[in-house]
Structure 1
Amino acid sequence: MRSAFPSDDLTARARIRDAAIARFGRDGFGVSLRTIAQDAGVSAPLVLHHFGSKDRLRAECDAHVLATVAAHKEDAVGPSGPDHLLVELAQVETYAPLVAYVLRSVQHGGELARTFYAAFVADAEEYLRAGVAAGTVRPSRDEAARARLLTQQAIGGLLVALTLEPVDDPADLGPRLRAHMDAVALPALELYTDGLMTERRMLDAYLMYVTDPPAGAPSPDPRPTS
């Protein structure tokens, strides 16, 4: 599987970016460029040479994290199928620096965080659409709304878990992430696969209530009832 930080990506620019992702995730976006330079084993002027400012460095961190997460999601939902997803779950600790960065970005707020979150939603919509086309995901009456909900649940669930049981030592984040995934994997997969309700009265009542139901709504649930 891919690593969060590929071992063959060892240029000075990549080392600075990876050090910034790890440091921003641990301590927030107020850390100095000098601290990031020390983590990367380079001089502070070299950081400015490559990125020009902390905002531009953070923008590159955003792009790298988004690209890495998108690649993992595409593999898990796409042609590789469930077997690949199990491999990804077994290696979940390797995502700890990326997870910390994502959560820190959302907590920090601001325009960069909104852009970051919007990109996650767009990515979720894209891989769900691919899953629908491949026949592994059911279609939705509102694909964009479903992508937003799943993104909010994923990020929000982690924020709640790590807020209620915070991690003081960065080395503990990987095991904590593993514990969270172990706790939610079965109920989440069960819910997404089998559903929650045994009949559709609440959905039908809602569709009658809204004045402008989504266009192209799926036909009634084709699953057999018992």
Structure 2
Amino acid sequence: MRSADLTARARIRDAAIDLFGREGVNRVSVRAIAAQAGVSPALVLHHFDSKEGLRKACDAHLVEVLRGDGGAADLGDTAKLAATLDAPELRRYLARAFLDGSPEASTLFDEMVEVSEGWLGRGTAEGWVHHTEDPHTRAALYVSWLLAPLLLHEHVSRALGVTDPAETDAALRISRTAVEILTKGVFADETVLSAMDNVRKGRP
């Protein structure tokens, strides 16, 4: 939707999402947000009371977008998650929110872990996911790996020689390799796993 079609409140929120994602909340002023939204600083404060109030509204909007119509269950659908984050400003903001540790981002991460644990658990019961002794840790790591290209956007782009790892061709390349790793593994035998078990057994 074009910015001209949005309400003033929505334009302010979208401008804040863009600027917060690019520069971080602490580096962005209410005046800068107002200028980008084409409104006065007073109107920003009228709608959101403070910059912190605006940040919370941005977090709430992002969570609403990611949850979609299906609620938390949509967070277990990685394809839907990627498609939802096709807007670069939303990806930047989500990455910043996770790194800054906002309460809303923490809640979102915990929901993603919970949904993924259930999804992987169903896969285990149906036989297309390996059994693990620690399903919760596996789910937490699974979500962390899913989000890694988002959080390490610049480094992943540089390493792979792409402009944007979320662009369709790059995303398919990354996703295919990630699924290959999860399906076939990296190590050809249990040498490294045995070494790790020995470290655990050797602890006092």
Structure-1-length-normalised TM-score: 0.62
Hey, what does 1:169 align to over in structure 2? none
**Aligned residue among 157, 166, 176 for 1:177:** 166
* Shift of residue 162, structure 1, vs aligned partner: 0.4
* Residues 34-183 of structure 1 mapped to structure 2, 5 A cutoff: 34-71=31-68, 74-75=73-74, 77=76, 85=79, 91=83, 94-106=86-98, 109=100, 113=101, 115-132=103-120, 134-135=122-123, 138=129, 140-163=132-155, 175=164, 177-178=166-167, 180-183=170-173
Structure-2-length-normalised TM-score: 0.68
Aligned length: 189
Q: Which moved more, 1:139-148 or 1:200-209?
A: 200-209
**SS at 1:42 equivalent:** coil
Name the CA shift for 1:127/1:88 in 2 (closer, same or farther; >3 Å).
Answer: closer
8 Å CA contact retained: 1:70, 1:123? no
Query: Unpaired runs of 5+ in structure 2?
Result: none
d(CA) in 1 for partners of 2:14, 2:153: 25
8 Å CA contact retained: 2:149, 2:165? no
**Aligned-partner residue type, residue 15 of structure 2:** A
8 Å CA contact retained: 2:20, 2:93? yes
Identity across aligned pairs (percent)?
31
Task: Specify which structure has the bigger relative contact order, considering alpha-carbon pairs within 8 angstroms and separated by 6 or more residues.
Answer: 1
d(CA) in 2 for partners of 1:100, 1:133: 31
8 Å CA contact retained: 1:125, 1:143? no
Q: Which moved more, 1:154-163 or 1:35-44?
A: 154-163
The structure with the greater share of residues assigned to helix is: 2
d(CA) in 1 for partners of 2:92, 2:36: 17
